[in-house]
Amino acid sequence: MSEESINHKLAAILSADVVGYSRLMTEDEVATIRMLAACRDRISLRVQENRGRVVDFVGDNMLAEFSSAIDAVDGAVKIQETLEQHNAKFDQNRRMYFRIGINLGEVLIDKDVIYGDCVNIASRLEGLAEPGGICISEFVYSQVHNKLDVGFVDLGTKNLKNISTPVKVYKVVEEKKTEAPTPVTGAVQDQEISLPLPNKPSLAVLPFANLSADSKQDYFSDGLTMDIMTALVRIPGLFLISEISMFSYKSQAPSIRELGGQLGVSHVLDGGVRKEGDRIRITARLLETTTGRQVWAERYDRKIDDIFAVQDEITERIVEALDIKLVTGEMAHTIRKVLRNPVALEYYYRGWEALFGSTRDDIKEAQQMFEETTRLEPESSFGYAMAAWAHWWSVDQGLSEDIAHSLERAIELARKAEDLEDFTGLSHLVMAQIHLYKHEHDKALVAAQKAVLARPSCDLSYVAKANILTYLGRPTEAIDLAKYAIRLAPVYPPFFQKTLAAAFYGNGQYEKAIASAKKILESDKDNLDAFLILAGAYAAIDEQAEASKAATEVKRIKPGFSLKKYAETQPYSDPKVLEQVTGMLQRAGVQ
């Protein structure tokens, strides 16, 4: 720390830690890590809302700074209220309580790190707080005592460890009932939902928790989760909630019963992974959602090149526990030609991580990671199938710099994966999308059907097939498939509902098409496809005023929109259907 880099400033410092963290970790390491992640997200949002900055959040300790004592205390109160709401969903012994201490004074800043007695005092005050409580120094009290809707109890002067001067301490208490804090927003909201169970064994796989101290290892636990789901998605006798939905729960900590109701499943697979050098430790357990009963649990301590054998064991235990009758009569062995090179595995998992990104650089990185996997493991279909998907995804998301090259490369990689007996089925899914893009309808449908057969619990396969059937003039079949995809993915991206809306429109069910389009706008208010469907559907039922409003939104979202160019991208097999679609858009006022 050089003298030149040090700055001084006055700040309100908030220090927090988890009560009984060691006990929680000893009793249930995976659930504790998951709960801590959920609390961390909620705390960080409250700090940000109160104009603060999270300086550090390592393990169960959090440090934040605020420019004013009022913002710090108000933020602390909101944090504790939010965590109280969150804890209410769990049994008493699984709740996570934080203690908070706040001090006001001068701090030393070196880059983004803060030091000084002010920080140390805040940490000592935190230790005096009750579980779920807040303690503040006299300096803080003098700034806030008449300015917030809370009360204070004088705890007297305390001698704090390693602090030379005694500090007068106050406890923050609730003076009168205030309004509940604004719900924390995120991918999954706390919701009163109860979906019916399907008529076959059903399962949701929570993203495996990263049990290492390094958050940069998240890519490994996420990759392991995806691989297990890739194995399970191929089992015909299993109803599996999609990864799109499940990864939205990554920073959530719902109770098992709550998760079962929200997703409509009978069982949940939960687990964690710690990677250290060339060894991995994986814990996994299967839980019954109606009772919370643990059906089985296992811990695996292996070398990293045994990871696929562990995945197979986990899959087989699930099949056995759920009494799934496999159509083929074989066990659900999954990964025959595995990635035996640990470096290839690293590239493969990093590719998965990048693929979850949304920028051109993210997709490029995913392509590079997967293609490097193929270089290191040329006889495994893994890398080829995923690289093919990454190249197609760049086209689908409008992120390709050269569409023709991306398509050519995706086709080349998908065919190589097929030659290597691609067990993932992703190569068929890629080819289905590309054939449709090229207006090769029959080939697209054949590839989509192969994808559904290879991936019977894959929501994307059903959406792809539904989309193709709509363009083929078979919307009635498309409606059922799109609805099933949405059932597999209770938390789904907008294009799932767009596929259903388009199928309703193609079937002449314009009111239902309008309802589906409006559902898209609830989560994506500027979705172009939704307004195009609304414009056409309203025009079809002669509600010209609403059709015109939707057409105006199309122009607002995309000022240079051209109906002629749009028509060229719509691969309807029957030109008359395309003519009817564009005719209704013209009637609405879309040009």
Digit-coded pLDDT (tens) for 534-586: 999 999 999 999 999 999 999 999 999 999 999 999 999 999 999 999 999 99
Residue 338: the pLDDT is 59
What is the arithmetic mean of pLDDT over 73-79?
A: 96
Is the model's pLDDT at 26 over the cut of 90? no
The DSSP string of 147-196 is TSS-EEEEEEEE--TT-SS-EEEEEEE--S--PPPPPPPSSS------PP
Is the model's pLDDT at 282 over the cut of 90? no
Residue showing tokens 């190249």: 391
Is the model's pLDDT at 309 over the cut of 80? no
Q: What is the rounded CA–CA span in Å between residue 27 and residue 495?
A: 42
Domains of the chain, by residue range, sit at: 3-173, 206-321, 493-591
- pLDDT tens digits for range 170-196: 999 976 433 333 443 333 444 444 678
> Which residues are CB-contacts of 59 (< 8 A; sequence separation ≥ 6)?
21, 213
What is the arithmetic mean of pLDDT over 406-416?
A: 95
Burial label for 192, CB within 10 Å (0-12, 13-18, 19+), is: exposed
Mean pLDDT, rounded, of the chain? 85
Which tops the pLDDT comparison, 553 or 24? 553
Domain 206-321 carries which CATH code?
Answer: 3.40.50.10610
pLDDT band of residue 289 (cuts 50, 70, 90) is confident
Q: What is the rounded CA–CA span in Å between residue 182 and residue 85?
A: 11
Residue 336: the pLDDT is 38
- pLDDT tens digits for range 422-439: 877 889 999 999 999 999
Residue 324: the pLDDT is 56
- pLDDT tens digits for range 129-169: 999 999 999 999 999 988 898 999 999 999 998 888 899 99
The CATH architecture that domain 493-591 belongs to is Alpha Horseshoe (1.25)
Residue showing tokens 């003519």: 579
SS3 450: helix
Q: Are 392 and 434 in contact (CB under 8 A)?
A: yes
Is the model's pLDDT at 529 over the cut of 80? yes
CA-CA distances (angstroms) from residue 182 to 46, 81, 188? 10, 10, 15
Is the model's pLDDT at 385 over the cut of 50? yes
Domain 3-173 carries which CATH code?
Answer: 3.30.70.1230
- pLDDT tens digits for range 483-496: 999 988 877 788 89
Angle between helices 403-419 and 381-396 (to 10 degrees): 150
Low-confidence winner among 97-106, 269-278, 362-371, 500-509 (lowest mean pLDDT): 269-278
Low-confidence winner among 10-24, 108-122, 175-189 (lowest mean pLDDT): 175-189
How many CB atoms are located within 10 Å of the residue 322 CB?
18
Return the half-sphere exposure (C-beta side, CA atoms, 13 A cut-off) of residue 412: 9
Angle between helices 426-437 and 403-419 (to 10 degrees): 140
- pLDDT tens digits for range 322-363: 665 433 333 334 443 456 777 887 888 888 778 877 789 999
What are the tokens at 82?
Answer: 């939010």
Q: What is the rounded CA–CA span in Å between residue 451 and residue 465?
A: 9
Q: Are 354 and 387 in contact (CB under 8 A)?
A: no
Residue 410: the pLDDT is 95
Q: What is the rounded CA–CA span in Å between residue 505 and residue 52?
A: 48
Q: Are 391 and 367 in contact (CB under 8 A)?
A: yes
Which tops the pLDDT comparison, 108 or 171? 171
Residue 322: the pLDDT is 67
What are the tokens at 583?
Answer: 């005719």
What stretch of H or E contains 87? Answer: helix 69-87
